[in-house]
């Protein structure tokens, strides 16, 4: 079975597995305890915090461990709902992950404004620049790269504009981390990440918060994590998450991802040659090296594509894991201006660090075969 669904979750890397086992075996204390066991756990947490801060380019005390990105993103929305004035708006892009979108809708209702997205899958930077010149929201949120299309967002530019107007900027860096260098993300006021998207374990993530700023906690009942997130920290998974990110950052620094981008581009060329009526979503925009979102030619049979590819030995998806099984077409593709009848045809291939050039080539062959089969079904 060849795995092309890294954007939903990725296999745990050897480095992460070994680090988890080692920490579980040797670190048994609660980091908040006063005794030596506790001190050793606290030291492991501090080391992990320093590592992550080093990668992002921020201060270790700005890192808060969470159960994943969903919690981190909900914490951001909750914090602003508690601290902004009753008339203040927040602006986020129309293609954010549901854990940002739905919590923003929940906390802000009509005070939520969606930043438009172009047909190429990038936010409308011109719109944002003009609107910001006119009025100031209490927060701007833009993901670093989209999970469905892989389209890279101009988060650095938006950060810089927000800084010039002193508007806090939040980026969901879940799909960016482990695929692109983390450096520079730490300049954003709020940054979220989840270990299982970059080869770490599931159920652990982080939120980078601004220095010395008190953030309203979502979880109450303990003084852990500067009082921003109550609950005993899961030391082994935190250590494991950092081992994964360290390994990914090392591979990225050797430009491993650039070569992998070439394999993906070759795949797209061959795929479009063999299945000419297919459309690559966001194909004109800079995208993560691992992601291809394609509108398949065969009507609304995208589930058939997934099932047949599964039988042929390829794990792919119909979009984000969170929308799988839902009948509605993706809100991301809708924000890009695709009609429901088009959006329903999207199939996503997301490769990873273990994907080989031969895997991409094998996928092309399988797609050609399934295309032939499905076009006969009519
Ligand atoms: N943000 C983005 C962009 C994602 O792709 C995901 C997961 O698919 C999340 C947030 C949520 O992450 P988790 O399920 O690990 O909390």
> Model confidence over 221-270: pLDDT tens digits?
999 999 999 999 999 999 999 999 999 999 999 988 888 999 999 999 99
Residue 258: what pLDDT?
Answer: 86
Ligand 1 atom nearest 322 alpha carbon? 8
Q: Which residue has the tokens 């969606």?
A: 114
Beta strands in the chain (DSSP E): 2-3, 63-66, 90-93, 112-115, 139-141, 169-172, 190-194, 205-208, 279-280, 291-295, 314-315, 346-350
Integer-rounded Cα radius of gyration of the chain:
21
Residue from 51, 1, 78, 67 nearest 247 by CA? 51
What angle (nearest 5°) sits at the alpha carbon of residue 91, between those of residues 86 and 92?
Answer: 135
Contact 80, 86 (CB under 8 A): no
Residue 377: what pLDDT?
Answer: 73
- As for ligand 1, residues whose beta carbon falls within 6 Å of it are 68-70, 97, 99, 143, 147, 172, 174-175, 194, 196, 205, 320-321
Q: Which two tokens stand for residue 153?
A: 């967002």
Give, using CA atoms, the residue closest to atom 10 of ligand 1: 69
Mutate to test the pocket of ligand 1, among 67, 170, 178, 197 (most ligand atoms within 8 A of CB): 197
Catalytic (active-site) positions? 322
Mutate to test the pocket of ligand 1, among 143, 147, 244 (most ligand atoms within 8 A of CB): 147
Give, using CA atoms, the residue closest to atom 8 of ligand 1: 8
Residue from 156, 204, 151, 194 nearest 172 by CA? 194
* pTM recorded for the entire structure: 0.96
Ligand 1 atom nearest 196 alpha carbon? 15
Residue 135 C-alpha to ligand 1 middle, in angstroms?
30
Residue 38 C-alpha to ligand 1 middle, in angstroms?
31
Rounded to an integer, what is the distance from CA 10 to the centroid of its chain? 12
Residue 327: what pLDDT?
Answer: 57
Mutate to test the pocket of ligand 1, among 6, 92, 149, 194 (most ligand atoms within 8 A of CB): 194
Ligand 1 atom nearest 203 alpha carbon? 15
User: Which distant-in-sequence residues (6+ apart) come within 8 Å of 329 by Cβ?
Assistant: 338, 340, 343, 344, 346
Ligand 1 atom nearest 321 alpha carbon? 8
Residue 199 C-alpha to ligand 1 middle, in angstroms?
14
Residue 256: what pLDDT?
Answer: 83
Q: Which residues of the chain have pLDDT under 50?
A: 322
Give, using CA atoms, the residue closest to atom 5 of ligand 1: 147
């Amino acid at each position: 079975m060849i795995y092309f669904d890294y954007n939903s979750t990725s296999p745990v890397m050897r480095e992460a597995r070994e680090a988890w086992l080692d920490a579980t075996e040797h670190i048994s204390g609660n980091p908040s305890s006063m005794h030596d066991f506790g001190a050793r756990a606290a030291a492991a947490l501090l080391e992990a915090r320093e590592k992550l801060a080093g990668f992002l380019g921020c201060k270790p005390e700005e890192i808060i461990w969470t159960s994943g990105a969903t919690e981190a993103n909900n914490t951001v929305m909750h914090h602003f709902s508690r601290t902004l004035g009753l008339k203040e708006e927040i602006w986020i892009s129309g293609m954010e992950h549901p854990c940002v979108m739905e919590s923003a809708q929940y906390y802000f209702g009509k005070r939520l404004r969606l930043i438009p997205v172009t047909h190429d899958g990038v936010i409308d930077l011109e719109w944002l620049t003009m609107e910001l010149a006119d009025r100031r929201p209490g927060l701007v949120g833009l993901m670093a790269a989209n999970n469905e299309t892989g389209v890279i967002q101009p988060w650095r530019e938006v950060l810089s504009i927000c800084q010039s107007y002193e508007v806090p900027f939040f980026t969901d860096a879940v799909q960016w981390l482990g695929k692109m260098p983390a450096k520079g993300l730490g300049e954003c006021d709020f940054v979220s990440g989840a270990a299982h998207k970059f080869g770490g374990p599931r159920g652990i993530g982080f939120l980078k918060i601004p220095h010395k700023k008190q953030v309203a906690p979502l979880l109450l009942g303990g003084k852990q994590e500067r009082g921003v997130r109550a609950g005993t920290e899961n030391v082994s998974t935190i250590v494991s998450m950092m081992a994964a990110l360290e390994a990914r950052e090392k591979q990225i620094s050797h430009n491993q991802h650039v070569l992998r981008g070439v394999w993906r581009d070759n795949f797209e060329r061959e795929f479009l040659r063999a299945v000419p009526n297919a459309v690559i979503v966001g194909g004109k925009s800079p995208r993560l090296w691992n992601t291809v979102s394609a509108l398949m030619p065969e009507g609304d049979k995208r589930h058939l594509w997934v099932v047949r590819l599964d039988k042929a030995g390829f794990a792919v998806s119909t979009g984000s894991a969170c929308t799988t099984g839902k009948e509605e077409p993706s809100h991301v593709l809708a924000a890009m201006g695709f009609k429901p009848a088009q959006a329903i045809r999207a199939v996503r291939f997301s490769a990873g660090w273990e994907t080989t050039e031969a895997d991409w080539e094998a996928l092309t062959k399988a797609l050609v075969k399934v295309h032939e089969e499905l076009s006969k079904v009519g």
